[in-house]
Chain A
């Protein structure tokens, strides 16, 4: 019986020739990640270990990104806790304001991840790095503490759902629409405890940014991880970002999957997840006129350069509708710089949007775009749970950067494929 990509990576990191679904293993970790919300809890737990110190100062990444620049005194204390821990333990990959970005955009950009790695992060969207052919999964603070101290974590080897992709995406349709479509089909617990393994000829047509977005939201289907095979696009991304060479694992031809889902990318149309679950998806044939109050374009899901390019293509020469607040958050300093050089920031500002420093802020209702009672937001973020971005009666509609930009202009949830005369820079 063959192994999946995920199973092969886990076997190699557990020193085993083979593993099977359900088996409990202990695996060596290539990187352990935490942020300003989860790391302080982990750091306090670290003090309870009899063995002091960290397993490898080069294999820990600390990224204050949720409530920074500090939004209040408690946030500032959390940041200080992380900063002091990083200094005391000489953590190589600590990113201060000025270098930081949203962690799941930042770490791949910094070349910290290689294909075949095993990564844990005390943030549920750690599954993003599956785009690079790594096994990466979200954990809590205690797992993070144990990982920092021992360099190991226990896992139950997951079974997998195979998602076979064919075709290629149309203009103003992106990775976000793909993953929302999949979550709409299988539900928010459709991949519970499982890997989502993306395969098939359609993979090659997806940009790395599309793959990051898709892997990022595996958790929104309950998945343990989402993972893509390594191809030339992966290797060229890794080279560009100076990552160490990794190992490309392929699923065995006789790998066993719990389920297979076929997705024809050319059939996907802009998709919106309605309140209050990511599985409540609709395409525009079933979306009435819904007036909105705010648009957020950013986050670990959709704050990358191709997201900004697509949004800017729609906003160029247009204006955010009267009474709508449009908040654009480039995910890292480098993305901000690139967006500036390409003139995208000017497009956003001229359109009447605001541009923020990198932060997770509004996505989780932290700051920088909290919703009042009854307000509606079209957001490129990843969760639309009750109260996620503010008041419990506010509503979040999850969508792609293209749909978000089109909605900002229209003042209501709007289909970006209506801009048939514009070239989608991410689909050329």
Chain B
């Protein structure tokens, strides 16, 4: 996964994991079943309009609240190729890395990128390009250790690799 490219679905600050995947669906853990209810309490149109490769751009503190890994799993299974936010809540940040959902912190991109823009993210350099406006932003690239977890497809594969 060196880069992602897709159309932007835009949200604001403090998108919590309860609206990403409400607790009434937590008895399920099948990714496709979770994806069917992704963002339901924030945006009822998300499930019907999201396309493979789309990118979520949000404000600060994305993924705050509950530690439910069902949240990044639901987003990933919806086809989202990357989440860009000004900041992420820390448990969501860990969970996204651990399950291999690409995320990137970039306050500038978070502020300026609009719904429907076409955006490209290079994970090696952290550069985010808004193809619609031509603007480029420098996001926070992962430290090598976290990049390796993502490249391995998540924490379990990484640990299996390390213990070989």
Contact = CB atoms under 8 A, between A and B. Distances in A.
Interface stretch (B24-32, B46-54, B112-120, B124-132): B24-32
Contacts of A365: 18, 22-24
Interface string B1-44: 00000000000001010110011101111000000000001100
Nearest to A141: B69
Interface stretch (B57-65, B74-82, B133-141): B57-65
Interface string A47-79: 011110000000000000011000010110110
Interface stretch (A109-117, A266-274, A308-316, A385-393): A385-393
Contacts of A67: 26-27
B154 interface: yes
B4 to A, nearest CB: 21
The 4 closest A-B pairs by CB, nearest first: A74-B27, A140-B95, A140-B69, A142-B98
A244 B115 CA distance: 55
A142 B19 contact: no
A192 B61 contact: yes
B45 interface: no
Nearest to B28: A74
Given A38-B67, A140-B94, A366-B24, A192 B89 contact: yes
Interface in B130-164: 143, 145, 154-157, 159-160, 163-164
B29 A44 contact: yes
Nearest to A391: B41
Contact of B69 (A41, A193, A386, A387): A41
A142 B29 contact: no
Given A189-B87, A385-B65, A142 B156 contact: yes
Contacts of B72: 140
A206 to B, nearest CB: 26
Interface residues of A, number: 50
Interface residues of B, number: 41
B41 A386 contact: yes
Interface in B76-112: 87, 89-91, 94-95, 98-99
Given A50-B163, A74-B28, 15 more contacts: A38-B68, A41-B70, A44-B29, A45-B156, A49-B156, A139-B91, A140-B67, A140-B94, A189-B87, A219-B91, A222-B61, A222-B89, A385-B16, A386-B18, A387-B19
A189 B143 CA distance: 22
A364 B69 contact: no
A139 to B, nearest CB: 6
A49 B163 CA distance: 10
Contacts of B24: 365-366
Interface of A: 24, 37-38, 40-41, 44-45, 48-51, 66-67, 72, 74-75, 77-78, 122-124, 126, 138-143, 145-146, 149-150, 154, 188-189, 192-193, 219, 222, 224, 277, 364-366, 383, 385-388, 392
A392 B24 CA distance: 12
A45 B154 CA distance: 11
A139 B94 contact: yes
A150 B90 CA distance: 22
Contacts of A222: 61, 64, 89-90
B102 to A, nearest CB: 16
A138 B69 CA distance: 11
Contact of A149 (B18, B29, B98, B159): B159
Contacts of B70: 41
A192 B87 contact: yes
A149 B159 CA distance: 10
A126 B143 CA distance: 26
A150 B65 contact: no
